[in-house]
Structure 1
Amino acid sequence: MASMDLESAITNQIGANTPPESVEELVLDTVKATKVTGLDKFVNLKMLTLNGCGLTTLEGFPTLARLTQLELSDNQLSGGLEELQECALFSLSRLSLAGNKFATLDSLQPLDSLPALRDLDLFNCPVTEVANYRSGIFEMLPNLKYLDGFDENENEKEEDDDDEGEDGDDDLLSSEVGEDDDDDIGEEDEDFGEEGDDFGEEGDEFGEEGEEGEE
């Protein structure tokens, strides 16, 4: 029944006739399920939230190569993160496991298979009480930028941090395009200038021929 509840919630959210491959976001918070089912065809998901669902395992988690944000807060997970290693989560940059039962750093070791992970939340997990918890996580996950909302130097994450990075890339791209356009315009101006000089020389020649005719 739990799996049917989850699949029914998906249908209720997107409609019965929506192609799964066209869906980029699914919010399935508090839908009761002990494991994740019914998502195999949603290959283009970018955001998935399954907060407070009662999940006890990640067995069968789907392959979601485009997923960038995954929220699994307030479930009953204490391990099994190795299940994510087979899911091609190459784009996953934000992961929330807050309010689960992870108690050791070793239980989080499989997260080192997520190359894009930069923002991890483990609020209210027993592991946060372990000695050297923060330094241990940052050492285990060298690409991580934020843990529980703060970087390695205890600087709080800014809400628009990621947006600024994307805008910066867009600005750089626009700048490069602008420089190319300016170069093209400059070359065209030089071409017109050279043509103008040619016309001027032809005008001088016609003028000389006219003077010879009068003589």
Structure 2
Amino acid sequence: MEPAGEKAGEDDRVRVTPQMLKAHSGEFALDSILLLRLRGLGLVDLGCLGECLGLEWLDLSGNVLTQLGPLACLHQLAVLNLADNRLSGLEPLAACESLQRLNVAGNLLATPGQLQCLAGLPDLQDLRLRDPLARLSNPLCATPTYGTAVLKLLPRLKVIDGQRVNGRGSDFYQLCQDLDSSLGPSSPSPNVAPAATVHPWVDPGYWETWPSRSSSILEEACRQFQATLQECHDLDRQAQDLLGQAQCVLSSKDAPSSFVF
């Protein structure tokens, strides 16, 4: 027979308890928790999570959740990661009126209609249903036009699966949609219109900022940010080179001129 302490520990790994929440957040009062990461703990029951009334950021990815009932109490929640679970419905999230970003890649959502419960969320702008890098998806993503169906259902969305679908930058998304459609089995003779000119989201130099007042913490953060920014510039140059090479290869094979890079 297992000792009582070990049995209790096993229960804590599958059900959210006050002890678990305090241990992972460092807070003594559940309603004081603003940010919480409960990733990959084997959770099957959210338990008392609904008592974290001030929660704004929550990561529940990599568990085995099938129900989200307690989340209906989290009216301040803005960012929620539910990737890699076993969810076939999201109905309790209809009460999370502050939700802005939602990741449900790697679940069991089979049709766009299962997202109808999100239609009343006024601030929801970013929805992820598929994550190719992590090899996570949903059954509904098997349809090439799922993005269009989701956007029709949730017209307030600005980003789907990391791609801009509304506002500046959305032309690239439309081009990808056109390319997907043209390469599908139902469209053997593609006739894709060229994409409109895409402008940067921010003005030149926007990211090259420096703190206006001296602070070692701010300066170190800016140094790290500048290093990361330089890596992004390098990757962008490499990407442009690869795209140029691909365009030359396609041109040499008489590829359709409508495929604009």
Shorter-chain TM range is 0.5 to 0.7
Deviation at 1:53, TM superposition (A): 1.2
Of structures 1 and 2, the one scoring higher in RCO (CA 8 A, sep 6+) is 1
Equivalence for 1:204 = none
Equivalence for 2:141 = 128
Distance 1:23 1:60, change over 3 A: closer
Is 1:96 aligned to 2:109, yes or no? no
Question: Is the helix fraction higher in 1 or 2?
Answer: 1
- Say if 2:72 and 2:92, in contact at 8 Å, map to a contact too: no
Equivalence for 1:115 = 122
**Amino acid of the residue matched to residue 76 of structure 2?**
R
- Say if 2:67 and 2:87, in contact at 8 Å, map to a contact too: yes
Equivalence for 1:9 = 20
Q: TM-score, normalization: structure 2? A: 0.54
- Say if 1:34 and 1:54, in contact at 8 Å, map to a contact too: yes
Deviation string for 1:175-204 (max 9, x for gaps)? xxxxxxxxxxxxxxxxxxxxxxxxxxxxxx
Distance in 1 (alpha carbons) for counterparts of 2:34 and 2:25: 11
Please state whether the residue corresponding to 2:164 is helix, strand or coil: coil
| Rg larger in structure | 1
Distance 1:18 1:96, change over 3 A: same
Distance 1:19 1:77, change over 3 A: same
- Say if 1:67 and 1:91, in contact at 8 Å, map to a contact too: yes
Q: TM-score, normalization: structure 1? A: 0.65
Distance 1:4 1:122, change over 3 A: closer
Equivalence for 1:105 = 112
Please state whether the residue corresponding to 2:80 is helix, strand or coil: strand
**Amino acid of the residue matched to residue 140 of structure 1?**
L
Equivalence for 2:44 = 34
Equivalence for 1:138 = 151
- Say if 1:3 and 1:36, in contact at 8 Å, map to a contact too: no
**Amino acid of the residue matched to residue 125 of structure 2?**
R
Please state whether the residue corresponding to 1:6 is helix, strand or coil: coil
- Say if 1:24 and 1:45, in contact at 8 Å, map to a contact too: yes
Task: Indicate the RMSD between aligned Cα atoms, in angstroms.
Answer: 2.2
Equivalence for 2:91 = 82
Please state whether the residue corresponding to 2:98 is helix, strand or coil: coil
Please state whether the residue corresponding to 1:37 is helix, strand or coil: coil
Give matches, 1:1-215, under 5 Å: 1=11, 5-7=15-17, 8-15=19-26, 18-79=28-89, 81-85=90-94, 87=95, 89-123=96-130, 124-152=137-165, 153=170, 155=172
Distance in 2 (alpha carbons) for counterparts of 1:90 and 1:67: 8
Please state whether the residue corresponding to 2:99 is helix, strand or coil: coil
**Amino acid of the residue matched to residue 145 of structure 2?**
N
Deviation at 1:54, TM superposition (A): 0.5
Percent identity among equivalent residues?
32
- Aligned pair count reads 154
Q: Which runs of 5+ in 2 are unaligned?
A: 1-10, 131-136, 174-200, 203-261
Equivalence for 1:210 = none
Deviation string for 1:17-60 (max 9, x for gaps)? 61222211000011222232212221111101100110011133
Please state whether the residue corresponding to 2:28 is helix, strand or coil: coil
Distance in 2 (alpha carbons) for counterparts of 1:31 and 1:24: 19
Distance in 2 (alpha carbons) for counterparts of 1:31 and 1:62: 21
